[in-house]
Amino acid sequence: MNADEMYEKMKAKLNGIVPDVELRYKAEIAVEINELKVQRNAVILGHNYMEPALFNSIPDFTGDSLDLSRKAAQTDKDIIVFCGVRFMAETAKILNPSKTVLLPAARAGCSLAESITAADVRDLKAKFPGVPVVTYVNTYADVKAESDICCTSSNAAAVVDSLHADTVIFLPDEYLAKNVARETGKHIIFPSAGPKAADAAGNDMPGELDYQLIGWRGRCEVHEKFTLKDIETVREQFPDVVILAHPECSPEVTAAADFSGSTNAMIRYVQQSQAPHYLLLTECAMGDNVAAANPQKDMLRLCMVRCPHMNMITMEDTRDALKFNRYVIDVPEEIRVKAFRAVDRMIKIG
Ligand code: 13P
Ligand code: SF4
């Protein structure tokens, strides 16, 4: 496909969403990337939070964390370019270690992954011996290596249920833990000395005493910004709006929404339903991508926060990743083997 054809393809999807001048410029880079991809026998995986021009041009597969982990595990290409954040690229390496995994940005972290260390998990295990540890995939490999099983936002409740345990340590997302506790009928405490607990309005929140889930005070810096007030304000203006919230939002927000699910689950919900208006409480770029895929549907926008980490993945850097073989993601083998057990166990649950 030449640059004109690529431009037409992107314009058909993104007209009115991405400025024309940007489409023309990015169509040329997309052609370059697709040529490099073939030359280097690479596959490009694109998370649902990638910016619309990138999302709609270069990935071989797009999806949520779970979906892309599966694609990374299955690929027979030599190189996996992960257009997502570091923990996702690490998960690809954990699952498919013989491949070269490239992350187009040197850092591209995640506030949840930064919130907990392997030593923190070891301390919790010492405090609660024998209690199984479930770790969200939004963590680094050494934290996964200390865990019994991982989960993503699309299978967290199923993973907790699969353990048939009275008590589970669930790390590190405070809000996902609370949402899972509600879904699985469990109570939750936060025994850590970690950051002081406060709700979205800044009020202190006490821990609860009767516990079956043991949590941690990590939060997604994007999803913690959405509030109940946002929902009330939108519902006043659009009483028939259908609101979808990612489970990294606070439990007050997910309870007030009409649906809560992983990024893929939200995309499916919009595709398969007919509502007068939709509002997605998640990362901004995904709102654009869902609007582009559903031009006949009315997507309201409450685009407050672009994930600064996902935003580090640009088309220019993706091209340079393939050109200069950077940034190579490596996981020390003794950590990888342990982390593999936790991730593979999750993938087998489905
Ligand atoms: P998903 O697994 O739903 O794609 O979520 C990943 C993520 O980082 C959400 O902020
Ligand atoms: Fe991490 Fe939140 Fe960004 Fe997802 S949106 S990568 S959870 S900071």
Of all ligands present, the nearest one to the C-alpha of 311 is 2
List, edge to edge, every strand of the sheet that includes 79-83: 61-63, 42-47, 79-83, 100-102
Q: Report the pLDDT value the prediction gives residue 349, as an integer from 0 to 100.
A: 86
Task: Give helix 20-39 / helix 3-14 axis angle, nearest 10°.
Answer: 120
pTM given for the model = 0.93
Q: Is 248 in the pocket of ligand 2 (CB under 6 A)?
A: yes
At the topology level, CATH places domain 3-109+310-331 in Rossmann fold (3.40.50)
- If you measure from the C-alpha of residue 263 to the centroid of ligand 1, how many angstroms do you get, rounded to a whole number? 6
Q: Where in the chain is CATH 3.40.50.10800?
A: 3-109+310-331, 112-219, 223-293
Domain 223-293: CATH superfamily is: NadA-like (3.40.50.10800)
Assigned CATH for 112-219: 3.40.50.10800
Phi, psi of 301 (to 5 degrees): -115, 125
What ligand 1 atom has the least distance to the C-alpha of 47?
A: 4
Q: Which atom of ligand 2 is nearest to the CA of 282?
A: 5
Give the containing element (helix H, strand E) for 244.
Answer: strand 241-245
Ligand 1 atom with the smallest distance to the CA of 64 is: 4
H-helix or E-strand spanning residue 277: strand 277-281
Which pLDDT score is estimated for 299? 94
CA distances, 44 to each of 34, 110, 315 (Å): 9, 20, 12
**Ligand 2 centroid distance, CA of 85 (Å):** 8
Nearest 5°: phi and psi at 270? -65, -45
Which atom of ligand 2 approaches the CA of 110 most closely?
A: 1
Per-residue confidence in pLDDT tens, the chain, 350 aa: 999 999 999 999 999 999 999 999 999 999 999 999 999 999 999 999 999 999 999 999 999 998 999 999 999 999 999 999 999 999 999 999 999 999 999 999 999 999 999 999 999 999 999 999 999 999 999 999 999 999 999 999 999 999 998 899 999 999 999 999 999 888 777 775 444 444 444 544 544 434 588 999 999 999 999 999 999 999 999 999 999 999 999 999 999 999 999 999 999 999 999 999 999 999 999 999 999 999 999 999 877 789 999 999 999 999 999 999 999 999 999 999 999 999 999 999 86
Q: Is the CB of 221 under 6 A from ligand 2?
A: yes
| Contact by Cβ (8 Å): 218, 195 | no
Who lines ligand 1 at CB under 6 A? 48, 64-65, 138, 152-153, 220, 246, 248, 262-263
**Position 110: which residue type?**
C
Q: Which amino acid is at 129?
A: P
Q: In sequence order, what DSSP letters do the residues of 56-91 get, joined into one string?
A: TTS-SEEE-HHHHHHHHHH--SSEEEEES-HHHHHH
Distance, in Å, from the CA atom of 243 to the CA atom of 208, rounded to the nearest integer, reads: 29
Task: For residue 58, give both structure tokens.
Answer: 């270069």
Q: What is the pLDDT of residue 200?
A: 47
Ligand 1 pocket: which of 153, 174, 267, 313 to mutate (most atoms within 8 A of CB): 153
User: How many A from CA of 113 to the centre of ligand 1?
Assistant: 12
CA of 264 to the centre of ligand 1 (A): 9
Buried b (16+ CB within 10 A) or exposed e, 146-170: bbbbbbbbbbbbebbbbeebebbbb
Residue 211 has a pLDDT of 53
Question: Would you say the CB of residue 173 lies under 6 angstroms from ligand 2?
Answer: no
14, 56 Cβ separation under 8 angstroms: yes
Would you state the pLDDT for residue 209? 37
